């Protein structure tokens, strides 16, 4: 099983490259859910996008999984990111199912498709038998995705100075 090259019914999941910076920059423009992610939206969109993608490239280089580009099979369009993140969370190692979808693709089930696929992949590849999703307390859309992914709200805490719920299975 190759983590860095996967497919779902509608998506191809592949490693991000620096060529994705311009496309991912759209995420940082007029995003009503931007406050739910730990990113400084006062930076210009190119800087924010490069920072985010560079973080994934670092993770790949250090065998830490990382977010993958999600490409819609039918159109070839870049719709967002998703993957498994290794977290040192509350003094223990955790594996987070994470995703972010460009706003113009919201409401089409892509977030749920990515999240359920990544959790299933992680279990099949023996990454872990338990996964979490760290979700801002006001992000109802992501809470719904976590519930569809068989997760429940385990507890409340802070993460990157944001109030969050930790969902898990």
Return the structure tokens found at 17.
Answer: 């490259």
Percent of the chain residues topping a pLDDT of 90: 80
pTM score, whole prediction = 0.93
In the chain, what are the domain boundaries?
5-168
Structure tokens of 160? 């990157």
Closest listed residue to residue 83, CA positions, set 6, 10, 168: 6
Residues counted in the chain = 169
pLDDT > 80? residue 31: no
Domain 5-168 of CATH type 3.20.20.10: no
Q: What is the token pair recorded at 87?
A: 């977290």
Report the C-alpha gap between 30 and 1 in whole angstroms. 37
Which distant-in-sequence residues (6+ apart) come within 8 Å of 67 by Cβ?
Answer: 16, 56, 59, 81, 82, 83, 85, 98, 99, 100
Dig out the tokens for 6 from the structure.
């996967």
pLDDT in tens, 94-151: 999 999 999 999 999 999 999 999 999 999 999 999 999 999 999 999 999 999 999 9
């Amino acid at each position: 099983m190759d983590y860095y090259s996967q497919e779902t019914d509608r998506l191809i999941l592949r490693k991000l490259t620096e060529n994705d910076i311009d496309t991912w920059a759209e995420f940082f423009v007029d995003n009503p859910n931007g406050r739910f992610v730990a990113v400084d939206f006062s930076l210009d969109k190119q800087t924010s996008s490069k920072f985010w993608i560079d973080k994934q490239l670092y993770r790949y280089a250090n065998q830490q999984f990382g977010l993958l580009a999600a490409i819609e099979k039918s159109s070839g369009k870049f719709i967002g990111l998703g993957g498994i993140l290794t977290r040192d969370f509350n003094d223990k190692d955790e594996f987070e199912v994470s995703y972010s979808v460009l706003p113009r693709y919201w409401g089409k089930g892509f977030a749920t498709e990515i999240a359920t696929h990544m959790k299933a992949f992680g279990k099949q590849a023996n990454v872990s038998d338990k996964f979490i999703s760290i979700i801002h307390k006001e992000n109802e859309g992501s809470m719904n995705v976590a519930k569809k992914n068989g997760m429940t709200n385990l507890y409340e805490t802070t993460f990157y100075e944001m109030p969050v719920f930790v969902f898990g299975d």
